[in-house]
Amino acid sequence: MSEAVLNACGLTKRFRKRKVLDGLDFELARGAVTVLLGRNGAGKSTFLKLALGVLKADGGSIAVCGHDPARKPRVVRQRLGYVPDKPDVYDWMTPAELYRFLKPQYPTWNDDLVARTVASLGVPATTPFGALSRGEGMKAMLVAALAPEPELLLLDEPFAGLDPVAREEVLRGVIGEIRAEERTVLCTTHDLDVAARIADRVALLSCGKVARHGATAEVLGDESAAPERMRQILAETPA
C-alpha cells in the first residue's frame, strides 16, 4: 500500500487563546522513519495526541489509517503503537501483567513477537514497573507498542531522561525492531544525535505548521553533519 498512513490538512488546535497548531498540513509516507523536530512548545506532542484521538482538533482534519481519530478512536488505536515519554503504567503492574491486560484489546496481538522482543531487549517481565529503571520501563513500553504489529508506531520523546547507557540500549532496540519490519514510524525527540541515526525523513514544526519536510539528506545535507545541522535549524526556528 503506497497511500499515506497519516494525513493532516489545515489542522488547528488551541489551548485557551494560544494556537498551538495553525493550519498544519502533513502527510506521512508508509515504510519510513520520520522524525518530527521542533522547539519546546512547538506542538509535537499535541500533534501525536490528535493522531491518537486523545485530543480533538479545533479545525481542519486528520486521518490515520483512513479514519478520523476523534470519531473512531478505538479503531485507530487498534492500528497504532504508542510509546510515551515515560511509562504510563501503575507502579505495581509488571510488564507481563500489562501485556495480558492489553492483549484482548488488539485483534492482531502477537504473543510470539512479545516473547521474542522481551528476550531480545532484556525486559524484566515479572518485575513491577515501580522497581524498573527508566530504560527498562521504556523497553517494556516498546514491546507493548510493537505487540499488535501496528501500521504506525508513534514515539513521543522515548529517549528523554535516559542515562547514556540506557539511551543506547533503548535506541538499539528501537532501531532493530523498526528496521527489521520496515515499520512506519513518527518520532518526536529532542535528542538530535538519535534523530540523525534513525531518521529517513525529517519534518520541522514551527509556528504551528510544518515548515520543512523531506528526506533527511534533503533537509539536513551531509549525513555526518546531520546532528549539528539539526541544532542550527532549531536554533534559527521560532516555536
What would the pLDDT profile of 60-118 be if each residue is shown by its tens digit?
A: 999 999 999 999 999 999 999 999 888 889 999 999 999 999 999 999 999 999 999 99
Residue 175 reports pLDDT greater than 90: no
Residue 238 reports pLDDT greater than 70: no
Strand order in the sheet with 59-64: 18-28, 6-15, 59-64
Residue 230's pLDDT band (boundaries 50, 70, 90)?
low
What was the pLDDT predicted at 147?
94
Three-state SS sequence of 30-42: CCCEEEEECCCCC
| pLDDT tens column, 156-167 | 988 877 788 888
What was the pLDDT predicted at 224?
53
Of the listed ranges 131-135, 167-171, 188-192, 235-239, the least confidently predicted one is 235-239
What was the pLDDT predicted at 47?
95
Domain 32-49+78-235 has CATH 3.40.50.12160: no
Residue 150 reports pLDDT greater than 80: yes
Residue 124's pLDDT band (boundaries 50, 70, 90)?
very high
How far apart CA 44 and CA 213 sit, in angstroms, is 14
Three-state SS sequence of 135-169: HHHHHHHHHHHHCCCCCEEEEECCCCCCCHHHHHH
Mean pLDDT to the nearest integer, 125-130? 96
What was the pLDDT predicted at 187?
93
Percent of the chain with pLDDT over 70: 90
- What is the residue extent of each domain of the chain? 32-49+78-235
192 vs 231: which has the higher pLDDT: 192
Percent of the chain with pLDDT over 90: 54
What was the pLDDT predicted at 1?
43
What was the pLDDT predicted at 2?
47
* Helices 95-102 + 134-146 axis angle, to 10: 20
Q: What are phi and psi of 160, to 5 degrees?
A: -65, 135
Supply the pTM of this predicted model: 0.88
Nearest to 169 by CA among 124, 224, 221: 124
For 63, the grid coordinates are: 486521518
How far apart CA 113 and CA 109 sit, in angstroms, is 9
Question: What is the rounded average pLDDT for all residues in the chain?
Answer: 87
What was the pLDDT predicted at 36?
92
